[in-house]
Amino acid sequence: MTTFYYKAIGNNGELTEGIISANNREEVIVQLQASGKVPIYADSQQPKSQKKKTRSVRFSSVNSELIFEFTQELMYLVEAGIPLDRSLEILQQGTPSSVLQQLIHELRQQLRGGQTFSQALEKFPRYFNPLYVSLIRAAEASGQIGRGLETLCQHLERSRQLKEKVSAALLYPIILLGVSLLSILMILLYVVPQFADIIAGFSKELPPETQFVMWLSRVTIDYGVYALGILSLLLIFAYRTLSSGSNTAWWDALRLRLPLIAKLHIKIEYTRFCRSLGNLINSGVPMLSSIEMASAAFTNNTLLKEITLAATHMREGGRLSDQLKNSKRVPPLVVQLTQVGEETGELPGMLLKTADIYDRQIETETQKLLHILEPALILSLGFIIAVLIMSLLSAIIGINDIAL
């Protein structure tokens, strides 16, 4: 049997937490309901918010993971028939994050001041993006906030899975590259200087590659700290520039031209867009408004402009697929399934199906890319280290020949 962590509302209306041994999650829920409790969380992994209970939480620590947990637990409470304000109160009492507690308190204050839930969320754009607010607003209009929260949970979960897949795929190459660069630095900073004193008197007879390695070692020792500082500043500047979204035309163009990367990048971008657009339309948000809000999922402004043109075409009475056909960067699958969806009246379903198909393709293509990248990194970095070692060995052999 597996140990499951749970959160539930007890008979007295208070939030309770604990662990239960069961064969699966469904059995946990049945046990909780049989004891008169309303389950709001049950999983074999401890909630991230609970794991951080002993740590102080800074203002910036309300991340996407905590927002997902907040949305999921609020969904369970609302679907159990607990009023929204009371649900928020329970979550406020149950979260260990002081910042999330304050955020929920502010939301409750907005609700008590006569604001709707979507209007309250709109006051905090740092945590709740336009898509989040729009799905809640559409759910309010239909009187099904629980259903809107469920759609949000599905959307956030899929987005998180996509992000984790890409991050996990890049982790090993980054570690490999870092270890290899550290090995090269160790050779230049500690190994080469040991040989420098020994072979200093034979500098005229040294092979050119050995002289180059010794020069490179001296430059690394003398100016390495300054180079590292300049590189760090450049990386910080590049990160802030890309995060701000200003002057990133070169970065957008680069991602669309890199071999092996370009197609994968386009699929990731359109996966986010199709899933966002499908969920918004399904929730009753008007088509043009849905496109405008779903476009925020793009991180590449070049692709964003194509969707903006499609929205303009629709305002003039055209169809979304008609404009998408004219773009060379829109994947054929997106165009075809969008056209099918428009013709059959099942556009939201086709968009979500497109996102699901691309999810699987992204995972497969990422693995293929890793299979190419890993040996390429190993061979190239191994070659560099081998050249450094061989240059030193050739110098030692040359010294022995002179001595003889």
pLDDT at 310 over 80: yes
Task: Return the HEC string of the chain.
Answer: CEEEEEEEECCCCCEEEEEEEECCHHHHHHHHHHCCCEEEEEECCCCHHHHCCCCCCCHHHCCHHHHHHHHHHHHHHHHCCCCHHHHHHHHHHHCCCHHHHHHHHHHHHHHHCCCCHHHHHHCCCCCCCHHHHHHHHHHHHHCCHHHHHHHHHHHHHHHHHHHHHHHHHHHHHHHHHHHHHHHHHHHHHHHHHHHHHHHHHHCCCCCHHHHHHHHHHHHHHHHHHHHHHHHHHHHHHHHHHHHHCCCCHHHHHHHHHCCCCHHHHHHHHHHHHHHHHHHHHHCCCCHHHHHHHHHHHCCCHHHHHHHHHHHHHHHCCCCHHHHHHCCCCCCHHHHHHHHHHHHHCCHHHHHHHHHHHHHHHHHHHHHHHHHHHHHHHHHHHHHHHHHHHHHHHHHHHHHHHHHC
Between 393 and 56, the more confident residue is 393
Q: Which tokens in the block code for residue 242?
A: 């890309």
Residue 62 has pLDDT above 60, yes or no: no
What is the value of pTM for the model shown?
0.66
pLDDT at residue 350, as a whole number: 93
Q: Under CATH, which number does the domain 254-366 receive?
A: 1.20.81.30
- How far apart are alpha carbons 321 and 337 in whole angstroms? 9
Residues in the chain: 404
**What is the per-residue pLDDT for 326?**
85
How much is the pLDDT for 354? 92
Instruction: pLDDT band for 155, please (50, 70, 90 cuts).
Output: confident
Cα(64)–Cα(152) distance, rounded to whole angstroms? Answer: 12
Q: What is the Cα–Cα distance from 324 to 316, expressed in whole angstroms?
A: 15
Interatomic CA distance for residues 268 and 362, integer angstroms: 7
Cα–Cα distance for residue pair 146/143, rounded to 1 Å: 9
- Judged against a pLDDT cut of 50, whether residue 115 lies above it is answered with yes
Higher-confidence position of 197 and 150: 150
Question: How is residue 376 written in tokens?
Answer: 């390429």
pLDDT band at 58 (very low <50, low <70, confident <90, very high): very low
Overall average pLDDT of the 272-286 stretch = 85
Looking at 3.10.580.10, 3.30.300.20, 1.20.81.30, 1.10.12.10, the CATH number of the domain 61-159 comes to: 1.20.81.30
pLDDT of 308 over the 70 cut: yes
Phi-psi region for residue 258, left (φ > 0), alpha (ψ -120 to 50) or beta?
Answer: beta
Q: What are the extents of the domains in the chain?
A: 2-43, 61-159, 254-366
The answer to whether residue 347 scores a pLDDT higher than 50 is: yes
